A and B are shown apart, each in its own frame.
Chain A
């Protein structure tokens, strides 16, 4: 530090000394020259100059040496400073080392603490793992239980419930049905469901029963009105016949509606005929129940008859088909009905000239009249009941019904009445129609070996046997009994005259009239 302070002052001292020495030398030279005699002057000057030069050189050397000493002093000072700095650095390094040591100790302590923490964590982890294992075991148990539950539910849905519902639909009571399923896991659920189903079933049955009862009453009314109307038609003359026939027609249509409801609700048919009904009467009976009966043309030469117990159903089914046919063909178009006797039964074809059923309706109609059980929910809001009714009747009596496009442009419906329902008149009978319309009463005539009869006293016809064969020997004599002409004619004439009020007194004995003319 001292060297640094001295150095600025030491710098200009050298040159100043040199300059002063030069000036002094020059002055001494000049003085010596001036003082010396002129002869000696050159020698003195020479010597003086040499002395001056030597002086100057000595001064320069001194200045240079001084400068070198200054530099050395500076270097010394620098070295001292460096040593001090190194010392300080050494001191600092020691301090650093101490800090590092303490830090290392601290970190070791931390490491220890961390190790203990890690240990604790490991213990916790173990505990957690054991818990996990337990939890997994529990989960497995729970899953097994859930599987059991699911299997139980599946069994309930796939077996138990359908079985229970089926039994309930069949009319069993809730308690009876549930006895079999008392051990079921979901007994409460099952019981609740069974109650609801049974209640719904009872409601359905009640609604059906109400409809059936109402339909039955209307049927009974229509039947009694028909009987009264027929009686009036006999009693009154031509002047009111038209009105009576119109009433008769309306009553017949109302009766058919009631019959349809009765069929759909599963009630019995409106009335039972106690004798075989000829095909002609079957067709006309069907005709009488539809609105546009005058547009229907019958083409039948058949003398066969349909068994009494099935006659009403066949008539009703035909009426529905004829009604459809007339509804599907515009008013001037006629509907034609053909009858054909086959060995398999009686085929009745109804052909209309209408637009024809669309593919969809044809399929729907086929399905409706097929063997499937009647599903009331398939009926669309009370319209188009006809096919459903026909289907129910076809199932009941074993009629087979098929639809096809008609050669007349519309639809053809082919109804096959099975042979078991068909009775044929005795071959060679003089008056087959008469025999059918005015049935013989075989039970009334005493017979040596009476044919088998039903409880109601009607002849019993075995399957595959005709009605005529069943009544056989009994029917023919009974018919013959009626033959004595005169007596019956007397009787008939008298009754007829009484039947029509304005009849004049008989002009002559009716039995005599033919004689008069002949």
Chain B
């Protein structure tokens, strides 16, 4: 039942509500699992260790879900932490579906034709 990479057992003393300081909902719904995160600052001493790790991790754009996997934290908790960083201006977030590549996608008719062609093979 235990999945690889997920904490197999409860081997961290800090509970998640202390990581989020009691919050269970992100204040802003600015993130979904594939939102790309880019850090804007270097981590600073005295920062919460998760924040520092996110900043270190997101030197290159990284998806929320990747951050969650790397930190070993649930996605919902990571979203709360990212919300903190976003409010402080330490990261920027971008949705991949808004990337310019979306405009160049082939239209629906073209895709249907391809599908028919493939089925006829």
List A residues 109-153 near B (Cβ within 8 Å): none
Q: Which residues of A contact B6 (CB under 8 A)?
A: 231, 234, 495, 499
In the complex, the answer to whether A284 meets B15 with C-beta atoms within 8 Å is: yes
The answer, among A227, A241, A495, A508, for a CB contact under 8 Å with B10, is A227
In the complex, the answer to whether A277 meets B13 with C-beta atoms within 8 Å is: yes
**7 A-B pairs with C-beta separation under 8 A:** A226-B10, A241-B25, A242-B25, A245-B20, A492-B66, A496-B69, A504-B34
Closest 9 A/B residue pairs (Cβ): A285-B13, A242-B24, A492-B69, A284-B14, A496-B69, A227-B10, A288-B15, A301-B46, A495-B5
* Interface hub of B12, B15, B20, B60 (most chain A Cβ within 10 A): B15
Q: Which residues of A contact B60 (CB under 8 A)?
A: 514, 518
State in angstroms the CA–CA spacing of A312 and B13 once bound together.
Answer: 9
Is A173 positioned at the interface, with any CB of B under 8 Å from its CB? no
With A230-B7, A237-B76, A294-B22: A496-B65 Cβ-Cβ less than 8 Å: yes
Interface size, chain A (Cβ < 8 Å):
61
Contact with B along A491-514 (1 / 0, CB 8 A): 111011111100110111010011
List B residues 25-82 near A (Cβ within 8 Å): 25-26, 33-34, 36, 45-46, 48-49, 52-53, 56, 60-63, 65-66, 68-70, 72, 74-77, 79
* Interface hub of A242, A294, A315, A513 (most chain B Cβ within 10 A): A513
A-side interface residues toward B, CB under 8 Å? 223, 226-227, 230-231, 233-234, 237-238, 241-242, 245-246, 248-249, 252, 273-274, 277-278, 280-282, 284-285, 287-288, 293-294, 299-301, 311-312, 315, 431, 433-434, 437-438, 489, 491-493, 495-500, 503-504, 506-508, 510, 513-514, 516-518
State in angstroms the CA–CA spacing of A277 and B11 once bound together.
Answer: 10
Q: Which residues of A contact B16 (CB under 8 A)?
A: 230, 233, 245, 248
Q: Which residues of B contact A284 (CB under 8 A)?
A: 13-15, 18-19
The answer, among B15, B17, B68, for a CB contact under 8 Å with A496, is B68
Q: Which residues of A contact B99 (CB under 8 A)?
A: 516-517
Taking the nearest CB of chain B, how far is it from the CB of A47, in angstroms?
Answer: 193
Taking the nearest CB of chain B, how far is it from the CB of A289, in angstroms?
Answer: 9
The answer, among B14, B52, B61, for a CB contact under 8 Å with A281, is B14
Contact with A along B76-102 (1 / 0, CB 8 A): 110100000000000000101101010
| Identity of the chain A residue whose Cβ is nearest the Cβ of B52 in the assembled complex | A433
State in angstroms the CA–CA spacing of A160 and B75 once bound together.
Answer: 69
In the complex, the answer to whether A500 meets B52 with C-beta atoms within 8 Å is: no
In the complex, the answer to whether A299 meets B46 with C-beta atoms within 8 Å is: yes
In the complex, the answer to whether B46 meets A507 with C-beta atoms within 8 Å is: no
State in angstroms the CA–CA spacing of A222 and B45 once bound together.
Answer: 34
Q: Which label, helix, strand, loop or mixed, suits the secondary structure of the A interface? A: helix
Q: Which residues of A contact B77 (CB under 8 A)?
A: 233, 241
The answer, among A238, A245, A503, for a CB contact under 8 Å with B65, is A503
6 extra interchain contacts, Cβ-Cβ under 8 A, other than A438-B72, A516-B99? A238-B24, A248-B16, A281-B13, A285-B14, A504-B34, A517-B94
With A280-B49, A433-B52: A510-B66 Cβ-Cβ less than 8 Å: yes
State in angstroms the CA–CA spacing of A11 and B21 once bound together.
Answer: 165
| Identity of the chain A residue whose Cβ is nearest the Cβ of B96 in the assembled complex | A507
Q: Which residues of B contact A299 (CB under 8 A)?
A: 46
In the complex, the answer to whether B36 meets A517 with C-beta atoms within 8 Å is: yes
Taking the nearest CB of chain B, how far is it from the CB of A18, in angstroms?
Answer: 172
In the complex, the answer to whether B66 meets A496 with C-beta atoms within 8 Å is: yes
State in angstroms the CA–CA spacing of A311 and B13 once bound together.
Answer: 9
In the complex, the answer to whether B33 meets A503 with C-beta atoms within 8 Å is: yes
With A311-B13, A516-B101: A431-B56 Cβ-Cβ less than 8 Å: yes
Q: Which residues of A contact B21 (CB under 8 A)?
A: 294
| Identity of the chain A residue whose Cβ is nearest the Cβ of B9 in the assembled complex | A227
In the complex, the answer to whether A315 meets B13 with C-beta atoms within 8 Å is: yes
